Amino acid sequence: MSNLPYKIMTRLLNQLIILTLSTSNSLFAVNNKNEIKNVDNHTLSNYSQIRVSHVHLDLTVDFSQKELTGFAALSFEKQTETNTLVLDTKYLLIDRVEDQNEHKLDFNYLEADELLGTPLSIQLNDSCKRVKVFYKTTAKSEALDWLSSNQTAGKNFPFMYTQGQSIFTRSWIPIQDTPGIRVTYSADITVPDGMLAVMSASNPQQTNSSNRYHFEMKQSISPYLIALAVGELSFKSIDERTGVYAEPSMIESCSNELVDMGKMVDEAEKLYGQYDWDRYDVIVLPPSFPFGGMENPRLTFATPTIIAGDRSLVSLIAHELAHSWSGNLVTNATWNDFWLNEGFTVYFERRIMEALYGKDYTDMLALLGFQDLTSEISSLDEDMQKLKLKLNGLHPDDAMSDIAYEKGYFFLRMLEEKKGRAKMDSFLKNYFDDHKFQTITTEEFLAYLDQNLLQGKKDGLMINQWVYQSGLPANCPKVLSNRFVQAEKAVDVFLKKGVDNIVDAAADWSTHEWLHFIKHLPENINKHQLEKLDETFNLSLNGNAEILCVWFLISIKADYKPAFDPMKIFLTKIGRRKFLQPIYEELAKKPANKTWAKQVYEKARDNYHYVSFNTIDGILKD
Ligand code: BES
Ligand code: ZN
């Protein structure tokens, strides 16, 4: 009993020591209101004490070793008195660190975290203005996908690209890898003969003989948006400020598919203000790209699965373009605020689509989104159904559900319906303008919303329920699509009268009606019925990846074997996680299918980016 005060004293003292030694943000954040709410728990850097403001990269792309080697020179601004700069790194080999006068600086690694990587702590001297970190990437660097020439369309050159979002930039650049900071950047990239490098920056349009390319990104962006792709690439203009990069054999079909890109930028500007990034180009990557699209500023990275031949999947470009405002100009401060990036972007995307292709068309897209949302809600944990997330200890990619996208969209659509389109549009335009080149939290947005759109009149809008609670509030807008009603009727006719009776109706269906039709086939449909559909419409060999994906899913459920060979080809070629994940999950439900899936995966895994194979490893493990 008598030594209790002593114990308490020692514990307090220990805590004080830990607190003083801690590199976390908390100590310095307390003095500054702005810092506290901006704490991102997916970075181990000390970005609230000292902030990287400019990055210069000098990297050589070595395809034989599959590594990037060189340096990152980082300029910074101190927020508080500190002589330590802590950067995020993951799977990087650091060779040395120098100041601007080429004097070596001491550095050491702090405790590694399996998810967040190994923080690199650099001792700064008083006159230090800039640090140069010499390093190379490793085989484990998660951002990087290295493709052999066999995995490209042209088969002559290898290919590589990076994927930064959400926390992968640290695996190819030592940096404060948080959306809570913004940096400008420049780069010099050396590549092998005959290859072109492009980045989320000012870009070359053709290869040069020096094999070295210079890049500038003068507008400030969050580090997850720094991106690089290197390959045998051609460029084709769409109009004066838009164009497409792709492998030479794909360039015609890609530019033909994306011919409306220029108009999309024009419409987007009419809606929410000037496009602030100069050019808008798209690069169509090889099929291993794990996402549909990635909004790297000035240069959207896209999957070749949008090249359907009939321009039916271009809403993806409208989406990535819309991120030039929501996401790239106004950026979520932490990954818990991810819906501010994606929900706004889906809303903006559908407004662009409506302006270009009409309301009927866009209602189909919104209704497909609504269906995805309700099915997602039925399977997600309650905590993950909220717009504002609490992702402590979780990988932010796990937040990539339809909640941020579609619940976010319907929240904004609800506001539009209640306040009127004109008010909503001027509110959004001002929102982008007032927050451009800044990061924003959910709470800051809600305060801004209250002041500028709601003027204190929040009654009946259920704002808190939308943002902080699970499920869908009762005032969620209803979407009706007459074209989908027709597709549902066709399901009935097919089931009652046979496939011949829907041939006429289906003749002018778009991709979206096909998706709705297949998704509306009853759960208990049998393989003979699928066979009839396949014989008539050749669905197993459809050229559209979205249609193939839902067709394969129903074929697995009904055990319709003729779809399995085409499915194998699909799974081996395409690395887009949105397609792979549901197919492998469905296959994993039956032991025989799971065995088959594992065999396919053994060969296919090498064609996937880390983002995808990490997910599929989880699905197929025993
Ligand atoms: N920014 C996302 C991709 C992303 C999200 C990458 C989270 C890493 C973590 C991109 O804008 C996106 O949403 N892509 C979608 C397409 C879109 C039309 C919904 C995709 O890839 O499917
Ligand atoms: Zn997006």
Where helices occur in 200-286 by DSSP H, the ranges are: 251-257, 261-272
**Helix residue ranges per DSSP H, 273-379:** 315-322, 338-357, 359-379
State the distance from the centre of ligand 2 to the C-alpha of 318, rounded, in angstroms: 10
Nearest alpha-carbon partner for 292 in 308, 305, 282: 305
Query: How confident is the model over 91-96, as a mean pLDDT?
Result: 98
- End-to-end CA separation in angstroms for the chain: 53
CA angle 258, 544, 575 (to 5 degrees): 90
Q: By the 8 A CB rule, do 237 and 243 touch?
A: yes
- What digits encode the pLDDT tens for the residues 50-82? 999 999 999 999 999 999 999 999 999 999 999
Chain center to CA of 372: 18
* CA dist., res. 231 & res. 50, Å (int): 36
Rounded Cα distance between 349 and 326, Å, is 10
Ligand 1 pocket member 291 (CB < 6 A): yes
- Beta carbon of 402 within 6 Å of any ligand 1 atom: no
Which amino acid residue places its CA nearest to atom 5 of ligand 1?
400
pLDDT band at 456 (very low <50, low <70, confident <90, very high): confident
DSSP E strands: which ranges in 156-211?
Answer: 159-162, 183-190, 196-199
Q: What is the pLDDT of residue 459?
A: 86
**Contacts with 615 (C-beta within 8 Å, 6 or more apart), sequence order:** 577, 580, 581
Residue 154 sits at φ, ψ, to 5 deg, of -80, -25
Task: Establish whether residue 578 lines the binding site of ligand 1, counting it when its CB lies within 6 angstroms of any ligand atom.
Answer: yes
What is the tens place of the pLDDT at every residue in 339-356?
Answer: 999 999 999 999 999 999
What count of other Cβ atoms lies within 10 Å of the Cβ of residue 102?
A: 7
Torsion angle defined by CA atoms of residues 595, 598, 602 and 603, in that order, rounded to the nearest 10 degrees: 90
Would the pTM of this model clear 0.85, i.e. be above it? yes
Contact 196/207 with Cβ under 8 angstroms?
Answer: yes
Please state, in angstroms and rounded to a whole number, the distance separating the CA atoms of residues 509 and 465.
38
Q: Minimal CA–CA distance to 534: which of 520, 522, 523, 518? A: 518
DSSP-assigned letters across all residues of 466-530: HHHSSS--TTPPP---HHHHHHHHHHHHHHHH-GGGGHHHHTT--HHHHHHHHHTS-TT--HHHH
Write out pLDDT tens, residues 548-598. 999 999 999 999 999 999 999 999 999 999 999 999 999 999 999 999 999
Please tell me the distance from the alpha carbon of residue 226 to that of residue 141, in angstroms, as a whole number. Answer: 15
- Chain CA centroid to CA 564, Å: 30
**What pLDDT is recorded for position 398?**
76
Q: Return the closest-CA partner of residue 287 out of 91, 150, 387.
A: 150
Percent of the chain with pLDDT over 90: 92
Q: Tell me the CA–centroid distance for residue 153 and ligand 1, in Å.
A: 24
242 touches 265 (CB < 8 A): yes
| 482, amino acid identity | N
Q: What is each CA distance from 549 to 16, 599, 613, in whole angstroms? A: 56, 19, 18
Compute CA distances 64 → 5, 88, 159, 289, 444, whole Å.
Answer: 64, 27, 11, 21, 48
Relative orientation angle of helices 359-379 and 408-419, to the nearest 10 degrees: 130
In this prediction, residues 479-496 reach a mean pLDDT of 97
Radius of gyration of the chain (CA): 25
The torsion of the CA quartet 185, 190, 193, 195, rounded to 10 degrees, works out to: -20
CA distances from 142 to 106, 133, 379 (A): 27, 19, 28
Closest CA to 173 of 159, 189, 191: 189
Residue 309 or 6, more confident:
309
Ligand 1 contacts CB of residue 323 (under 6 A) = yes
Q: How confident is the model at residue 400 (pLDDT cuts 50, 70, 90)?
A: confident
Q: Of 295, 320, 342, 354, which residue is the catalytic one? A: 320
Which tokens go with 588? Answer: 């994993």
Residue carrying the six token digits 């194979």: 613
Structure confidence at residue 607 (pLDDT): 98
CA distance 328 to 344: 12
CA of 294 to the centre of ligand 1 (A): 6
Domain annotation for the chain: domains and CATH numbers: 3-137+165-192 (2.60.40.1730), 330-468 (1.10.390.10), 496-620 (1.25.40.320)
Whose alpha carbon is nearest atom 22 of ligand 1?
A: 292
Q: Measured from the CB, is residue 406 less than 6 Å from ligand 1?
A: no
Distance CA 32, CA 467 (A): 26
Euclidean distance between CA atoms 285 and 160, whole angstroms: 9
Q: How far is CA 454 from CA 223, 340, 451, in A?
A: 33, 18, 6
Whether the ω angle into residue 166 lies within 30 degrees of 0, i.e. cis, is: yes
User: Which residues are placed with Cβ below 5 angstroms of ligand 2, an ion?
Assistant: 342, 345
Q: Say what the pLDDT of residue 37 is.
A: 43
Q: pLDDT tens digits for 193-247?
A: 999 999 999 999 999 999 999 999 999 999 999 999 999 999 999 999 999 999 9
The pLDDT-based confidence of 22 (bands split at 50, 70, 90) is very low
pLDDT(9) > 60: no
Answer yes or no: 488 catalytic: no
**Ligand 1 within 6 A of 292 CB?**
yes
Judged on CB neighbours under 10 Å (0-12, 13-18, 19+), 407 is buried
CA 71 to ligand 1 center in whole angstroms: 29
- The per-residue pLDDT of the chain, averaged, comes to 94
Exactly one of 185, 405, 560, 601 is catalytic; which is it? 405
At 15, the pLDDT band (50, 70, 90 cuts) reads very low
Q: How many angstroms separate the Cα of 439 from the Cα of each of 26, 56, 225, 327, 329?
A: 19, 22, 13, 9, 8
Quick one: how far is CA 557 from the chain centroid? 30
Cα–Cα distance list, 60 to 64, 99, 186, 212 (Å): 12, 21, 14, 9
On the question of pLDDT at 291 being above 70, the answer is yes
Per-residue pLDDT, 450: 97
Average pLDDT over residues 331-343: 98
Q: Which ligand has the nearest atom to the CA of 397?
A: 1
| DSSP helix/strand/coil, 94 | strand
C-beta of residue 388 within 8 angstroms of C-beta of residue 464? no
Grade residue 38 by pLDDT with cuts at 50, 70 and 90.
low
In sequence order, the 6+-apart residues with CB closer than 8 A to the CB of 348 are 268, 271, 272, 322, 325, 326, 428
Q: What per-residue confidence (pLDDT) applies to 420?
A: 97
405 catalytically annotated: yes
